[in-house]
């Protein structure tokens, strides 16, 4: 079964039926998020669900101050690619492809800063349909597709909560979101007890918790989709 990637499946349908409608996202806060300025560690991370589905996350080597983040699912055409500023982690461009049932595929592309008066330009495409519109993305904003990889750059142990705008292309808006960074804890992965930092995401009724290894580069070791009661665990 094709899966919509976690941290992304907000309002997949309907997609294009509301083109032209807008809903203003929150204007606050405006401060930049305190990410480590070093690029994310390049490489692949694989996670598997209890149902046997595999998620692959890639951070490519940075180039010209930019870094590409990619998420794919084994046995599925669903995929996500986000280009971010390697230092600030600010999204530059994103593209995602998602199955929509009956063999149809829908795509979304966001070009940050390329819309009217510096807004983002959102392009949604489906079979025989295409819509383009401006998308407001007040700072600080993160593209849904750059999570959870980007959160590995958080200053664990020094922050406890962060507010930001979660840009969801299929919702066609930025959603007020909250990150709650927990204290260092222990999580069991493959029978092994690992020290890890929990980070809870709350956005539009969705709750998910990602666990990151205690030591840099803070590899993702577990992803819990609390709302959907599904857990993904790192493959050694």
Nearest CA among 173, 175, 174 for reference residue 18: 173
- State yes or no: pLDDT of 216 exceeds 60: yes
> pTM of the entire structure?
0.86
Check: CB of residue 201 under 8 Å from CB of residue 177.
yes
- At 89-142, the pLDDT tens digits run 999 999 999 887 677 889 999 999 999 999 999 999 988 789 999 999 999 999
Residue 30 has a pLDDT of 52
- State yes or no: pLDDT of 88 exceeds 80: yes
Check: CB of residue 106 under 8 Å from CB of residue 129.
no
Instruction: Please give the residue that has the higher pLDDT: either 10 or 137.
Output: 137
- State yes or no: pLDDT of 15 exceeds 60: no
pLDDT > 90: percent of the chain: 71
| Mean of the per-residue pLDDT values of the chain | 87
Question: Domain coordinates of the chain in residue numbers?
Answer: 42-234
Distance CA 81, CA 37 (A): 21
Model confidence at 8, in pLDDT bands (50, 70, 90)?
Answer: very low
Average pLDDT over residues 53-71: 97
Q: Who contacts 218 (Cβ-Cβ below 8 Å, separation ≥6)?
A: 152, 153, 154, 156, 197, 212
Check: CB of residue 220 under 8 Å from CB of residue 47.
yes
Residue 2 has a pLDDT of 36
Model confidence at 73, in pLDDT bands (50, 70, 90)?
Answer: confident
């Amino acid at each position: 079964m094709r899966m919509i990637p976690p941290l992304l499946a907000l309002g997949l349908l309907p997609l294009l039926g509301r083109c032209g409608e807008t809903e203003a996202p929150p204007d606050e806060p405006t401060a930049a998020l305190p990410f480590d300025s070093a690029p994310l560690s390049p490489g692949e991370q694989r996670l598997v669900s209890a149902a046997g589905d595999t998620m692959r996350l890639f951070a490519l080597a940075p180039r010209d101050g930019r870094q590409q983040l990619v998420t794919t699912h084994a046995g599925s055409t669903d995929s996500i690619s986000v280009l971010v500023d390697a230092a600030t982690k600010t999204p530059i461009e994103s593209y995602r492809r998602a199955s929509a049932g009956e063999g149809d595929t829908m795509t979304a592309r966001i070009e940050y800063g390329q819309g009217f008066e510096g807004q983002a330009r959102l392009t949604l495409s489906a079979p025989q349909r295409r819509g383009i519109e401006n998308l407001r993305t007040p700072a600080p904003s993160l593209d849904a597709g750059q999570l959870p990889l980007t959160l590995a750059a958080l200053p664990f142990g020094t922050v406890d909560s962060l507010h930001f705008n979660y840009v969801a292309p299929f919702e066609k808006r930025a959603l007020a979101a909250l990150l709650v960074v927990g204290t260092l804890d222990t999580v069991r992965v493959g029978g092994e007890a690992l020290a890890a930092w929990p980070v809870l995401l709350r956005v539009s009724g969705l709750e998910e918790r990602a666990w990151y290894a205690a030591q840099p580069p803070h590899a993702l070791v577990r992803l819990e989709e609390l709302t959907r009661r599904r857990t993904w665990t790192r493959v050694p």
